[in-house]
Structure 1
């Protein structure tokens, strides 16, 4: 318990990282001791340990490094402490005054040049910030200088600090040998290499002074948009964007690519641009509201919003277009029937359940504003009849996250997650655990439960002797990494800063979609084969996808969320957690998706009975309920969701065009 608390306080994970932290502290504490003794051998060892362990912790325990920074123990300060201790050692070993003065001058000059380099680097980075970032438009006409080489530009502080190594090593070697030539050689190398770096970066600053002006950038982007003539825009903004949020956009990309009308994607946060999936659709990221107004979007007739965010008002003010809330999932949560949705011209839902959900929000949403379009994203989900069971029942546990406040906390992780996993492991099943990407971001209790579940699954894998599966998974990693690199390339995840992204932007080959699908299919096939039929899995990354986890599962256990509504498409058995132990009838009345679900109480007493529906499918009493619920929640199978969504876009675009044609022409100025 003491070790766990210590790990939590130091922001490290596990005994190994804790050992490295203690080793770093001990090495730094030893420096003044060896300097004052004096003992150059002990000092050399302690100094080497501080160099190596500091570097390792930056990779393995970034949380601990950030904690040091908050305590003002920054990396430059740690390097400065080591330098001061070295000078103290040299003084105690009676180094000549000339050597001490030269050493002090060299280390001072090194730090001064490092400060100059940092200032120039910031100046280069600021000048390379463009008002927007684009993808899939030909921006070769803009005279954007190439990004400085990675050697000069990326992680520059780490590289500059380590340039003191020749001087440090030379002085220690001189103290050991009693000859001062190694010290002067080391001093010269440190000064020469640092000065060369500063000169090289100053040359890069000279180049970026020719960056195009804001007006020039917008003129070129608008020229490209005018040639493309977008008619439908998907608009996305989120206050705290990361890869965890971009699923809200990425889930719609393939649907947009199949529209009859020409789509464009508009993003508002630079971070979101980096996490966009593969697409040939033009993408424009415009962080500032004033700059958004500079885009030429006069031909856009329909704007689609996958999320409710404050910055949506910047696009909603475009009166010529029709604005539609499409959401990022269909669930019984408040977000799927929010009164805020009244600001949109239409609200598109999957099926009748979505319409009824909004109708329960009295005096807010007009029934005529709701359009049922299905869920086009669900086509990769295989039906129950197409599923081949493995030697053990596969239980997918996909809890939702804790929400923005305790008032709307729907996650089962905190009240019953650990207990449920313990009982599942006693039932001899295979567990695939895929928590929501935001799990633990707000609640420490949720994070603790998530960690405990992972540990339980890991321990049970070891108990089962899953060494063979571990070896297979390790053997598959190189190929999976190779495929992932190609997928990133196809997705347009280029190296470089935003200016480099714009500089390299070109109109893509649409045929890349076929290779993308083939590679993703190969990635999933290799991954699941390597996992074996009995090994538990913890899924934390984008791949494997949620829907591929659906296809592996025999049964789902989840909370009230869009995950359940999507899983209904498979017609497989599923379980809703009833953490507050509401009466079954009351729970089913409150949550539409409970209509075809087994309900699991907080003590998980019903778990064995529920699993029997998988072990003996002919005894499953919820089969007919799931079929009925599927059409109610997701709409009919024919016409397909893709066809219905496309028809809805066409109809609303035609309506917008007709209304625009009816508008009286503005009076000419006298």
Structure 2
């Protein structure tokens, strides 16, 4: 435990040094200094553990075991004198607590035992994790040194020391009992799971590997996959995404398949197709099943780099919203057999209303401002949040009601989170002062869907993102940001921006774009043409049928493209 502190964090080492100092001072009868050192060390340890608890509850105490043990042992000096009656009982309690504290890494691991994870699989159940147990463990463990220190300073009878030892012991006992029961149940369930999946006779599987907080990738497609009226299940590869998957799955069966053995055994004979919503690296673990038709959906229609990723070539079918989706690959030098592409529209826009020309009769035009996040790589960073406050001020000066809906991941960046919060504060103050009905915060980001926001707005300002393609369906004025980029190069790389107006670092482009978007809207005819190019020409009254019909055809046995060639040419993709 001390090696862990030395290896992981100098803060833990400092706490151990301070704890040892407090112990030596207390045993040297320098009581006042010892008490001060002990309180400082305990406070530091408590602060560090609480900071680690904020993002997660699992595994946060193991780095602090050394400090906890020493601080607990530091309370023993009164037990070496006659000041505490029933001292042997106190020593036994102390020893018991020290043993449990030393075993904390193992106890935490047992408390966090996961086992097989399933949801909505008929005939099978598992005992779910009990997060409260881990929280209780942290509370009693962190409280133990302070309580024992108080008892030692008050020189209370040794039997009172058992009031600290017993709760810790009971907590550990319950953790072991529940973990043992969960493990036995998990083993039985895991053994029966392949058979239970086979009994469902699923026609297809949704194979999903994604980090936490990306449930939107599944959420946007599941309503339409359900409308196929075919049995299916979700195979999840990442434990961290379990809650995301279950939250959006509804009654769809979900199984966690963290290992290759799981993948093999859960791929039941009735499966005929697999759908993917991203190009995760571990998708290669599943495309090797050549009897299946592998269909890439992706999770948005845009000109961003992920929408022409060369990895997409490994799938049998590549569903695109319109011809633009296919041309995008070729334009960037990504050569994919054209027979793999299927134009299916973007069913998610079926609830977006098309606005007739000039339909804007509100005293305060509603401007939807939907900036994207920074992205994980330089080539996918398109955000305008760095100048977002200036954009909002320009819109306010024009009398617009601003609907502010930043990408949820923008809150992960401390700088952009602060910008979001300042804009929300500004809009709130302006709404209070003027009565202009700005929409922001939960009302824009959670209570309303993206499509609700699009339908409730008169124009949109956004960065390069999939929401631009969705907004195009409305035919309303669209302003795209291109900060830090040459306009000619930007339009060549992101031709969807031609459907509206583009603003750059040159403030003159802001004036021209907003004047036209809020006035004559000279780009409407261009948008009408580009809507078909980007989103297909399916009838509005049955728009989602493009996807549903294509998916049914592929599930029902249209021969997969490229399987024969894969044996000889697959390595080159």
On whether the aligned pair clears a TM of 0.5, the verdict is yes
Q: Which residue number in structure 1 is paired with residue 123 of structure 2? A: 139
Q: 1:157 to 1:400 in 2, by over 3 A?
A: same
Contact 2:405 2:445 in 1 (8 A): no
Contact 2:368 2:459 in 1 (8 A): yes
Contact 1:433 1:538 in 2 (8 A): no
What displacement does 1:599 show? 0.6
Q: 1:388 to 1:111 in 2, by over 3 A?
A: farther
Q: Which residue number in structure 2 is paired with residue 435 of structure 1? A: 406
- Partners of 1:426 and 1:104 in 2: CA distance: 74
> Which of the numbers 222, 238, 241 marks the counterpart of 1:272?
241
- Partners of 1:64 and 1:234 in 2: CA distance: 28
Residue deviations 1:539-582 (CA, integer Å, cap 9, x gap): 89655433333234332221222121011122221111121353
Alignment of 1:622-637 (within 5 A): 622-637=523-538
What displacement does 1:318 show? 1.2
Alignment of 1:442-591 (within 5 A): 447=413, 449-461=415-427, 463-464=429-430, 466=432, 533-534=437-438, 536-537=440-441, 544-583=448-487, 587-591=490-494
Q: Which residue number in structure 1 is paired with residue 337 of structure 2? A: 366
- Partners of 1:600 and 1:104 in 2: CA distance: 74
Question: TM-score, length-normalised on structure 1?
Answer: 0.68
Q: Which residue number in structure 2 is paired with residue 290 of structure 1? A: 261
Residue deviations 1:355-394 (CA, integer Å, cap 9, x gap): 2223325571122221110011112334335988765443
Q: Which residue number in structure 1 is paired with residue 8 of structure 2? A: none
Q: Which residue number in structure 1 is paired with residue 212 of structure 2? A: 242
What displacement does 1:463 show? 4.3
Alignment of 1:21-170 (within 5 A): 54=46, 58=50, 62=54, 75-76=64-65, 79=68, 83=72, 96=83, 106-116=93-103, 119-120=106-107, 122-123=109-110, 125-126=112-113, 129-130=115-116, 133-140=117-124, 146=127, 152-170=133-151
Is 2:542 the partner of 1:638?
no
- Partners of 1:557 and 1:49 in 2: CA distance: 52
Q: Once structures 1 and 2 are overlaid, which stretch shifts more, 564-573 or 432-441?
A: 432-441
- Partners of 1:203 and 1:587 in 2: CA distance: 61
Contact 2:345 2:547 in 1 (8 A): yes
Q: Please tell me the root mean square deviation across aligned C-alpha atoms, in Å.
A: 4.5
Can you give the 5+ residue segments of structure 1 that lack an aligned partner in the other structure?
1-23, 175-179, 442-446, 470-531, 660-670
Residue deviations 1:251-294 (CA, integer Å, cap 9, x gap): 10001010143332222112222102143222222111222111
- Partners of 1:308 and 1:319 in 2: CA distance: 18
Query: Which SS does the other structure have where 1:272 is aligned?
Result: helix
Query: Which SS does the other structure have where 1:293 is aligned?
Result: helix
Q: 1:391 to 1:158 in 2, by over 3 A?
A: farther
What displacement does 1:348 show? 1.1
Question: Relative contact order, CA 8 A, sep 6+: which one is greater?
Answer: 1
Residue deviations 1:480-515 (CA, integer Å, cap 9, x gap): xxxxxxxxxxxxxxxxxxxxxxxxxxxxxxxxxxxx
> Which of the numbers 364, 373, 388 marks the counterpart of 1:401?
373
Q: 1:152 to 1:407 in 2, by over 3 A?
A: closer
What displacement does 1:83 show? 4.5
- Partners of 2:45 and 2:169 in 1: CA distance: 27
> Which of the numbers 644, 648, 652 marks the counterpart of 2:550?
648
What displacement does 1:647 show? 1.1
What displacement does 1:316 show? 0.9
- Partners of 2:130 and 2:414 in 1: CA distance: 42
- Partners of 2:141 and 2:276 in 1: CA distance: 45
Residue deviations 1:49-80 (CA, integer Å, cap 9, x gap): 977994798389937999xx8xx995555655
Query: Which SS does the other structure have where 2:473 is aligned?
Result: helix
Question: TM-score, length-normalised on structure 2?
Answer: 0.79
Query: Which SS does the other structure have where 1:557 is aligned?
Result: strand
- Partners of 1:609 and 1:204 in 2: CA distance: 66
- Partners of 1:202 and 1:122 in 2: CA distance: 11
Query: Which SS does the other structure have where 1:464 is aligned?
Result: helix
- Partners of 1:296 and 1:570 in 2: CA distance: 41
Q: Once structures 1 and 2 are overlaid, which stretch shifts more, 552-561 or 567-576?
A: 552-561
Q: Which residue number in structure 2 is paired with residue 184 of structure 1? A: 158
Q: Which residue number in structure 1 is paired with residue 11 of structure 2? A: none
Can you give the 5+ residue segments of structure 2 that lack an aligned partner in the other structure?
1-14, 562-573
Contact 1:593 1:629 in 2 (8 A): yes
What displacement does 1:410 show? 2.5
What displacement does 1:634 show? 0.6
- Partners of 2:128 and 2:62 in 1: CA distance: 31
- Partners of 2:110 and 2:441 in 1: CA distance: 46
Residue deviations 1:136-166 (CA, integer Å, cap 9, x gap): 21134x6x5x458665444523333324454
Query: Which SS does the other structure have where 2:480 is aligned?
Result: strand
Query: Which SS does the other structure have where 2:302 is aligned?
Result: coil
Contact 2:204 2:232 in 1 (8 A): yes
Query: Which SS does the other structure have where 2:266 is aligned?
Result: coil
- Partners of 1:590 and 1:200 in 2: CA distance: 60
